[in-house]
Structure 1
């Protein structure tokens, strides 16, 4: 149960990335970060290092868009939204986060007001292809996180039944297994997806001095949550065999032994149930101190 709660806390921290504008922790957690200061502040260097197939006119149009205020210095992407800021004297200031939305994905052309322009058409096809792949997979990634969140909460609630019954542990184990699968899927998808996106940005936009990176803190919290999830599933499985619920008290039934003895009627007294008197070795007759009870052996 403790491991499940720890997994839920890690998942909640990941989901809070970029979701709260005034929270320092929230701003430190992001899947993807773009820094455009090199492109905006050193236009001549960009023009001197253009890749093949890119004309100076295309770059100049991008610089005009940047100078018009359509391009901020810093962009950080979370699961729900992105936040943007200005960089002054090495400090990030004037943070602004867009509204949170389901199935969010970061579209640089839309954010930078470059959609359906000659600039978008002038960029290599690999860049547009990478953005399209990111758009499609991001929807599955969002669904995985939501299912993992719901299953984690359900795992905690159903796990309470494991205190009273091993059947409760079995059901909890099934839910935990599903939760772990979606947790791993969400983490793996995030890592692969944003790793690919960063690679595309670095390959295509590096000549424009636009830097791309991700948050090591975000990835650490995410995969620690996965580790907690896997560990909790293992211990829930163990609890189906032991350490779960209360074993019913077994009643000890004392059965008759194979050989028992019952009192029988005396053949010397006409079948009466009274003990008959036996002659003892000393010749005494009818002495009450020397009476015996014959018994019959019965096999059960």
Structure 2
């Protein structure tokens, strides 16, 4: 297969790599621009506090919800006090969307939502509700106890790993596109690109799994406790579709890069020199059962030239018992019936 064939073989994984990069970029751009309606729909978790109230359920139901969330050092009275502080805070928005680099806040009017502002993008971002809601230095914040602080510490560490994984996946995918140019020339280029592609796929998969699992746990556990006070916790759909599409495209690209390593050679089969032929011409082997002239390689005429008697020659005459037709009566360039191998 020549250069044109190899370029066609490289085209498929190259397009898949670019598609994976676009999906990763979309994940990173979520919750970074308040004026973009498309980017506003890219969020991991939404915290709706528009209907927050001190208590709408019984004490037993709230205690069970806290226990399910793994919070045992906080009493219902302490949590109710914290909710009242949030409820009385006039500067809070109706809802908050959590992204990779920051968060956005907005207002709810009927069934419509409107993003009012977004935080400044920050590396290794994690959403801190205690600081955002003004509970960090209050009695309500202190009353939340050690369990809530441990949960926030774990959430902070996992968020840091998630950010690093997405960043490495982005860098590796960009490097994959650059190195993939050399894959057009040789299989060695495909081999290097394949190794970079494997790194990109593993970190894209790790980041997607981390974000999905972490925010699913947050919705399932903390969301249950928050629901008792009218707080709604929901997960976004668009950003998870983007991140898992990035995984699918990255996996498919890796498979095709591996395929281009062992197949689709860029060398032409007609450009190789034949062994024993300095000019590189192709020597055709004689096929069996074909006609060919009787030449020097076919005895008895080729093994010893025949000379008429009476001539002084170094070659003896043919044997007397030889029954072959004399060479003088043969036609020039006579053909033997078949050549056998």
**Shorter-chain-normalised TM-score: which range?**
0.7 to 0.9
Q: Secondary structure of the residue that 1:99 maps to in structure 2?
A: coil
The offset of 1:86, in angstroms, is: 1.7
- Decide which moves more: 196-205 or 231-240: 196-205
Q: Does 1:2 align with 2:15?
A: yes
| Corresponding residue number in structure 1 for 2:165 | 144
Q: Secondary structure of the residue that 1:92 maps to in structure 2?
A: strand
Q: Does 1:59 align with 2:72?
A: no
| Paired residue total | 274
Bigger helix fraction: 1
Q: Secondary structure of the residue that 1:114 maps to in structure 2?
A: coil
Q: Secondary structure of the residue that 1:21 maps to in structure 2?
A: coil
| Corresponding residue number in structure 1 for 2:69 | none
Structure 1 unaligned regions, length at least 5: 272-288, 292-300
CA distance in 1, matches of 2:187, 2:296: 42
CA change 1:3–1:58 in 2 (3 A) is: closer
| Corresponding residue number in structure 2 for 1:246 | 267
CA distance in 2, matches of 1:57, 1:263: 116
CA distance in 2, matches of 1:5, 1:179: 12
CA change 1:6–1:137 in 2 (3 A) is: same
- Decide which moves more: 166-175 or 120-129: 120-129
Alignment of 1:41-52 (within 5 A): 42-43=53-54, 45=56, 51-52=62-63
Q: Does 1:81 align with 2:102?
A: yes
| Corresponding residue number in structure 1 for 2:176 | 155
Alignment of 1:91-240 (within 5 A): 91-93=112-114, 95-123=116-144, 125-240=146-261
The offset of 1:116, in angstroms, is: 3.3
| Corresponding residue number in structure 2 for 1:285 | none
CA distance in 2, matches of 1:230, 1:256: 47
CA distance in 2, matches of 1:255, 1:91: 80
Q: Kindly indicate whether the alpha-carbon contact (under 8 Å) linking 1:134 and 1:197 is maintained by their aligned counterparts in 2.
A: no
CA distance in 2, matches of 1:157, 1:192: 32
- Decide which moves more: 88-97 or 100-109: 88-97
Q: Kindly indicate whether the alpha-carbon contact (under 8 Å) linking 2:54 and 2:83 is maintained by their aligned counterparts in 1.
A: no
The offset of 1:162, in angstroms, is: 1.5
- Decide which moves more: 220-229 or 58-67: 58-67
CA change 1:200–1:120 in 2 (3 A) is: farther
- Decide which moves more: 152-161 or 202-211: 202-211
The offset of 1:172, in angstroms, is: 0.8
Q: Secondary structure of the residue that 1:69 maps to in structure 2?
A: coil
Q: CA RMSD in A?
A: 3.1
CA distance in 1, matches of 2:124, 2:186: 39
CA distance in 1, matches of 2:204, 2:254: 12
- Decide which moves more: 218-227 or 101-110: 218-227
- Decide which moves more: 52-61 or 188-197: 52-61
| Corresponding residue number in structure 2 for 1:278 | none
Q: Kindly indicate whether the alpha-carbon contact (under 8 Å) linking 2:21 and 2:173 is maintained by their aligned counterparts in 1.
A: yes
CA distance in 1, matches of 2:82, 2:181: 61
The offset of 1:256, in angstroms, is: 10
Q: Kindly indicate whether the alpha-carbon contact (under 8 Å) linking 2:55 and 2:229 is maintained by their aligned counterparts in 1.
A: no
Q: Kindly indicate whether the alpha-carbon contact (under 8 Å) linking 1:8 and 1:225 is maintained by their aligned counterparts in 2.
A: yes
CA distance in 2, matches of 1:174, 1:155: 9
CA change 1:140–1:57 in 2 (3 A) is: closer
| Corresponding residue number in structure 2 for 1:28 | 41
* TM-score between both structures, scaled by the size of structure 1: 0.79
The offset of 1:170, in angstroms, is: 0.8
Q: Kindly indicate whether the alpha-carbon contact (under 8 Å) linking 1:10 and 1:221 is maintained by their aligned counterparts in 2.
A: yes
The offset of 1:244, in angstroms, is: 4.6
